[in-house]
Amino acid sequence: MVRAELGDSILSKLRLRYKKIGRARYISHLDLSSTMQRAITRAGIELTYSQGFNPHPYMSVALPLPVGAQSICELIDVGISQDVQMDKLPEQITACLPEGLEITDAYVPERKFSEIAWLEVKGIMYYDEGVSDAVTDRLTERFSAERIEISKKTKSGESIIDISEHIRDLRFSQSELGDVIEFSARLSAQNPTIGPKNLMDALKGEYAELFPDFVNFTRVEVFDKDMNFFK
Protein backbone atom coordinates (compact mmCIF):
# COMPACT_ATOMS: atom_id res chain seq x y z
CA MET A 1 0.00 0.00 0.00
CA VAL A 2 1.09 3.60 -0.54
CA ARG A 3 -0.14 6.45 1.61
CA ALA A 4 0.94 10.03 2.27
CA GLU A 5 -0.78 12.34 4.75
CA LEU A 6 -1.61 16.00 4.09
CA GLY A 7 -3.72 17.44 6.90
CA ASP A 8 -6.82 15.27 7.25
CA SER A 9 -6.71 13.94 3.67
CA ILE A 10 -4.66 11.38 1.80
CA LEU A 11 -2.55 12.76 -1.01
CA SER A 12 -0.12 10.58 -2.97
CA LYS A 13 1.88 11.12 -6.09
CA LEU A 14 2.49 8.02 -8.17
CA ARG A 15 4.73 7.51 -11.17
CA LEU A 16 3.56 5.09 -13.82
CA ARG A 17 5.87 3.63 -16.43
CA TYR A 18 4.06 2.51 -19.55
CA LYS A 19 4.33 1.26 -23.11
CA LYS A 20 2.80 3.05 -26.08
CA ILE A 21 3.06 0.74 -29.07
CA GLY A 22 1.12 -0.49 -32.09
CA ARG A 23 -1.98 1.52 -32.96
CA ALA A 24 -1.69 3.48 -29.71
CA ARG A 25 1.30 5.35 -31.16
CA TYR A 26 -1.20 7.49 -33.11
CA ILE A 27 -2.81 8.81 -29.90
CA SER A 28 -1.82 12.46 -29.48
CA HIS A 29 -0.33 13.88 -26.30
CA LEU A 30 -3.57 15.62 -25.30
CA ASP A 31 -5.69 12.56 -26.04
CA LEU A 32 -3.22 10.41 -24.08
CA SER A 33 -3.79 12.45 -20.93
CA SER A 34 -7.56 12.07 -21.30
CA THR A 35 -7.20 8.34 -21.99
CA MET A 36 -5.08 7.82 -18.88
CA GLN A 37 -7.50 9.86 -16.77
CA ARG A 38 -10.48 7.77 -17.87
CA ALA A 39 -8.62 4.47 -17.40
CA ILE A 40 -7.47 5.34 -13.88
CA THR A 41 -10.98 6.43 -12.92
CA ARG A 42 -12.54 3.28 -14.41
CA ALA A 43 -10.01 1.23 -12.45
CA GLY A 44 -11.63 2.61 -9.31
CA ILE A 45 -8.75 4.91 -8.33
CA GLU A 46 -9.57 8.39 -7.05
CA LEU A 47 -7.51 11.12 -8.64
CA THR A 48 -6.41 14.31 -6.90
CA TYR A 49 -7.92 17.45 -8.48
CA SER A 50 -6.82 21.06 -8.42
CA GLN A 51 -8.90 23.71 -6.68
CA GLY A 52 -10.79 26.60 -8.29
CA PHE A 53 -13.52 27.10 -10.88
CA ASN A 54 -12.08 24.59 -13.37
CA PRO A 55 -10.60 21.71 -11.37
CA HIS A 56 -8.45 19.25 -13.27
CA PRO A 57 -6.63 16.09 -12.18
CA TYR A 58 -2.96 16.27 -11.27
CA MET A 59 -1.22 14.57 -14.18
CA SER A 60 2.19 15.24 -15.73
CA VAL A 61 3.75 13.39 -18.69
CA ALA A 62 7.52 13.31 -19.09
CA LEU A 63 8.83 14.30 -22.53
CA PRO A 64 5.71 13.93 -24.70
CA LEU A 65 6.20 11.41 -27.50
CA PRO A 66 5.68 12.54 -31.13
CA VAL A 67 2.57 11.12 -32.78
CA GLY A 68 3.47 7.95 -34.68
CA ALA A 69 6.41 7.06 -32.44
CA GLN A 70 6.51 4.05 -30.12
CA SER A 71 7.97 3.73 -26.63
CA ILE A 72 8.42 1.13 -23.93
CA CYS A 73 9.69 3.60 -21.31
CA GLU A 74 7.16 6.44 -21.04
CA LEU A 75 6.55 8.05 -17.64
CA ILE A 76 3.56 9.86 -16.18
CA ASP A 77 3.01 11.25 -12.68
CA VAL A 78 -0.51 11.20 -11.26
CA GLY A 79 -1.98 12.40 -7.98
CA ILE A 80 -4.30 10.02 -6.14
CA SER A 81 -6.32 10.47 -2.97
CA GLN A 82 -6.67 6.93 -1.65
CA ASP A 83 -4.68 3.90 -0.58
CA VAL A 84 -3.63 1.57 -3.40
CA GLN A 85 -1.89 -1.78 -3.66
CA MET A 86 1.19 -0.89 -5.67
CA ASP A 87 1.89 -4.37 -7.01
CA LYS A 88 -1.64 -4.71 -8.43
CA LEU A 89 -1.83 -1.21 -9.89
CA PRO A 90 -0.24 -1.85 -13.32
CA GLU A 91 -2.60 -4.72 -14.16
CA GLN A 92 -5.56 -2.87 -12.67
CA ILE A 93 -5.11 0.22 -14.88
CA THR A 94 -3.98 -1.66 -17.99
CA ALA A 95 -7.26 -3.59 -18.00
CA CYS A 96 -9.01 -0.26 -18.63
CA LEU A 97 -6.66 1.01 -21.35
CA PRO A 98 -7.02 0.58 -25.14
CA GLU A 99 -4.83 -1.82 -27.10
CA GLY A 100 -1.20 -0.69 -27.28
CA LEU A 101 -1.09 1.06 -23.91
CA GLU A 102 0.23 -0.97 -20.98
CA ILE A 103 1.32 0.08 -17.49
CA THR A 104 4.50 -1.85 -16.67
CA ASP A 105 5.45 -0.37 -13.28
CA ALA A 106 4.10 1.88 -10.53
CA TYR A 107 6.06 3.50 -7.71
CA VAL A 108 6.44 6.65 -5.64
CA PRO A 109 8.76 9.06 -7.53
CA GLU A 110 11.92 10.29 -5.88
CA ARG A 111 13.27 12.43 -8.73
CA LYS A 112 11.92 15.19 -10.96
CA PHE A 113 11.41 14.80 -14.69
CA SER A 114 13.81 17.70 -15.17
CA GLU A 115 16.62 15.29 -14.20
CA ILE A 116 16.08 13.21 -17.34
CA ALA A 117 19.05 13.96 -19.59
CA TRP A 118 19.29 11.17 -22.19
CA LEU A 119 16.94 8.94 -24.16
CA GLU A 120 17.89 5.67 -25.80
CA VAL A 121 16.15 5.04 -29.10
CA LYS A 122 16.16 2.26 -31.65
CA GLY A 123 14.89 2.64 -35.18
CA ILE A 124 14.56 1.30 -38.67
CA MET A 125 15.28 3.25 -41.84
CA TYR A 126 13.50 1.93 -44.94
CA TYR A 127 14.78 2.44 -48.50
CA ASP A 128 12.40 1.62 -51.35
CA GLU A 129 15.26 1.08 -53.79
CA GLY A 130 17.33 -1.05 -51.40
CA VAL A 131 20.67 -0.17 -49.84
CA SER A 132 24.23 -0.94 -50.85
CA ASP A 133 26.94 -2.23 -48.54
CA ALA A 134 28.46 1.25 -48.48
CA VAL A 135 25.41 2.95 -46.94
CA THR A 136 26.24 1.90 -43.37
CA ASP A 137 29.79 3.23 -43.75
CA ARG A 138 28.52 6.50 -45.20
CA LEU A 139 26.05 6.94 -42.33
CA THR A 140 28.77 6.25 -39.78
CA GLU A 141 31.02 8.75 -41.56
CA ARG A 142 28.31 11.41 -41.48
CA PHE A 143 27.68 11.10 -37.77
CA SER A 144 31.36 10.86 -36.87
CA ALA A 145 31.98 14.42 -38.06
CA GLU A 146 33.23 16.99 -35.56
CA ARG A 147 30.24 19.21 -36.36
CA ILE A 148 26.77 18.10 -37.44
CA GLU A 149 24.76 21.21 -38.15
CA ILE A 150 21.00 21.15 -38.70
CA SER A 151 18.17 23.67 -38.77
CA LYS A 152 16.00 23.29 -35.66
CA LYS A 153 12.89 25.10 -34.48
CA THR A 154 13.34 27.01 -31.23
CA LYS A 155 11.17 29.42 -29.27
CA SER A 156 12.76 32.29 -31.18
CA GLY A 157 12.37 30.63 -34.60
CA GLU A 158 14.61 28.52 -36.82
CA SER A 159 18.22 28.22 -35.66
CA ILE A 160 21.28 26.36 -36.89
CA ILE A 161 22.64 24.10 -34.14
CA ASP A 162 25.43 21.57 -33.88
CA ILE A 163 24.03 18.27 -32.60
CA SER A 164 27.31 16.34 -32.50
CA GLU A 165 27.70 16.75 -28.72
CA HIS A 166 24.12 15.66 -28.12
CA ILE A 167 24.48 12.19 -29.66
CA ARG A 168 26.08 9.18 -27.97
CA ASP A 169 26.64 5.56 -28.99
CA LEU A 170 25.07 5.93 -32.43
CA ARG A 171 25.33 2.67 -34.38
CA PHE A 172 24.04 1.55 -37.77
CA SER A 173 23.69 -1.97 -39.12
CA GLN A 174 22.31 -3.35 -42.35
CA SER A 175 19.38 -5.73 -42.04
CA GLU A 176 19.25 -9.05 -43.82
CA LEU A 177 16.09 -7.78 -45.53
CA GLY A 178 18.29 -5.75 -47.86
CA ASP A 179 16.27 -2.51 -47.88
CA VAL A 180 16.52 -1.66 -44.19
CA ILE A 181 19.12 0.00 -41.97
CA GLU A 182 18.72 -0.46 -38.22
CA PHE A 183 20.11 2.12 -35.81
CA SER A 184 20.40 2.77 -32.08
CA ALA A 185 21.49 5.88 -30.25
CA ARG A 186 21.40 7.80 -27.01
CA LEU A 187 20.16 11.33 -27.62
CA SER A 188 19.90 14.46 -25.51
CA ALA A 189 16.45 14.48 -23.90
CA GLN A 190 16.28 18.12 -22.84
CA ASN A 191 18.09 21.41 -23.45
CA PRO A 192 18.20 20.66 -26.30
CA THR A 193 15.83 17.84 -27.13
CA ILE A 194 17.24 15.77 -29.99
CA GLY A 195 15.07 13.16 -31.68
CA PRO A 196 15.39 10.79 -34.64
CA LYS A 197 13.84 13.47 -36.85
CA ASN A 198 16.85 15.65 -36.11
CA LEU A 199 19.15 12.79 -37.10
CA MET A 200 17.31 12.56 -40.40
CA ASP A 201 17.63 16.34 -40.87
CA ALA A 202 21.40 15.78 -40.89
CA LEU A 203 20.97 13.63 -44.01
CA LYS A 204 20.28 16.51 -46.36
CA GLY A 205 22.41 18.36 -48.86
CA GLU A 206 25.68 16.48 -49.33
CA TYR A 207 24.25 13.31 -47.76
CA ALA A 208 20.81 13.41 -49.39
CA GLU A 209 21.31 9.98 -51.01
CA LEU A 210 21.27 8.50 -47.48
CA PHE A 211 17.88 9.98 -46.60
CA PRO A 212 15.42 7.09 -46.03
CA ASP A 213 11.94 6.81 -47.54
CA PHE A 214 10.45 6.00 -44.15
CA VAL A 215 11.65 5.86 -40.53
CA ASN A 216 10.15 4.04 -37.56
CA PHE A 217 11.64 4.43 -34.09
CA THR A 218 11.02 3.35 -30.51
CA ARG A 219 12.16 4.87 -27.23
CA VAL A 220 13.60 2.11 -25.08
CA GLU A 221 15.11 3.76 -21.97
CA VAL A 222 15.63 7.02 -20.09
CA PHE A 223 18.76 8.14 -18.20
CA ASP A 224 20.01 10.94 -15.98
CA LYS A 225 23.08 13.07 -16.77
CA ASP A 226 25.40 10.34 -15.45
CA MET A 227 23.76 7.72 -17.69
CA ASN A 228 22.09 5.99 -14.75
CA PHE A 229 18.63 4.54 -15.39
CA PHE A 230 16.01 7.13 -14.46
CA LYS A 231 13.04 6.19 -12.27
- The CA-based angle 81-82-83, given to 5 degrees, is 145
- The CA-based angle 9-14-20, given to 5 degrees, is 145
Residue 114: pLDDT above 90?
Answer: yes
- Per residue in 171-212, pLDDT (tens digit) is 998 877 668 999 999 999 998 999 999 999 999 888 899 999
- Per residue in 117-170, pLDDT (tens digit) is 999 999 999 998 888 878 888 999 999 999 999 988 777 778 889 999 999 999
165 within 8 A of 158, measured Cβ to Cβ: no
Domains and CATH numbers, the chain: 5-110 (3.30.70.580), 115-223 (3.30.70.3190)
- Per residue in 58-109, pLDDT (tens digit) is 899 999 899 999 999 999 999 988 888 888 999 999 999 999 999 999 999 9
pLDDT for residue 50: 81
Q: What is the mean pLDDT of residues 14-22?
A: 96
pLDDT for residue 90: 95
pLDDT for residue 52: 77
Residue 9: pLDDT above 50?
Answer: no
Q: What is the pTM of this model?
A: 0.87
pLDDT for residue 144: 92
**Measuring CA to CA, which residue among 47, 78, 77, 80 is closest to residue 62?**
77
Residue 222, C-beta contacts closer than 8 angstroms, at least 6 positions apart: 62, 63, 73, 75, 116, 118, 119, 120, 189, 229, 230
Residue 146, C-beta contacts closer than 8 angstroms, at least 6 positions apart: 164
Band (39; pLDDT cuts 50, 70, 90): very high
Band (6; pLDDT cuts 50, 70, 90): very low
Band (4; pLDDT cuts 50, 70, 90): very low
pLDDT for residue 159: 86
pLDDT for residue 168: 95
**Measuring CA to CA, which residue among 65, 66, 67, 85 is closest to residue 75?**
65
Cα separation of 108 and 83, whole Å? 13
